[in-house]
Structure 1
Amino acid sequence: MFSKACEYGIRAVIYIWSQNKRGIKLGVKDICKEIDAPEYFTAKILQSLAKQNLVSSTKGPNGGFYIDTDQEKMRLLDLVIAIDGDSLFRGCGLGLKHCSEQHPCPIHGEYKVIREGLTRLLADKSLKELAEEVSSGKATLSTVMVT
């Protein structure tokens, strides 16, 4: 559903959030190790998010990525749109250019319901909430299953 860039970006920002309350600035290497993501690709994503003021960063030996107070109200929807754009929320499920209520594609009605539900989910979830689920152990960002 989301691009790989968006998946890595979401996981990275949630991880940064989960460590933020400890006052830690995280380097890309540490973030990528924890979320099982490629370092160079994730660094580019985080740099882009920093330019859009969705995460903060500082350079130098004590530098890294962190969440600032002006970013605390960020919703998952903000992050998805920043990385993937909004075409997922307004396009045709089959990719048709002229799909509309008046000229629907075969899955128009069902896709509209799914798209609206996804938009609500992403708008209702804050990254802070998701990070708290990870911090408390209710959710994980790891792709490795521990048994």
Structure 2
Amino acid sequence: MQQIITYRPAQVSDETAIKALIRAVNINPIGLKWHRFLVAVDENGELIGCGQIKPHWDGSRELASIAVQKAWRRQGIAGAIIEQLFANEQPPIWLTCMDKLIPFYEQFGFVEVMSGDGRSIPLYYRFARTFFKPIQKLSRIPGYLAVMVWPGGH
């Protein structure tokens, strides 16, 4: 039987579940303001996925906090969240991800911006890349932190 999934703007009552999901999938927990989130809920109202467009101090905007409960993955939920978040946004939209996730985001029109192209990368992402390198070395995280941009379209 097909489960019914509803996508909607987050409500204050979703805040705890959003933070729990972000912790569970081990992604950046900074800047989790519930009012920026779009959530996916099952037919019982349980949060199964989320994502946000997060503004930064340099004026850039980031697709961030894309997360789906493990039991619900590979069903198009993250993609539906991304598509709905983009419906009201103008490019460019930026993101950071581990390099293994580049192919996932490319299907939505994101392109990787290489580090040699530093002047076209907003300051926030240049700082993020710089600060992540020593953390990555110390924790032995494989791969690298990619910076990607959605210039519009697919």
TM-score (ref. length: structure 1): 0.25
* More relative contact order, 1 or 2 (CA 8 Å, 6+ apart): 1
Task: Decide which structure has the larger Cα Rg and report it.
Answer: 1
Q: Give the structure with the higher percent strand.
A: 2
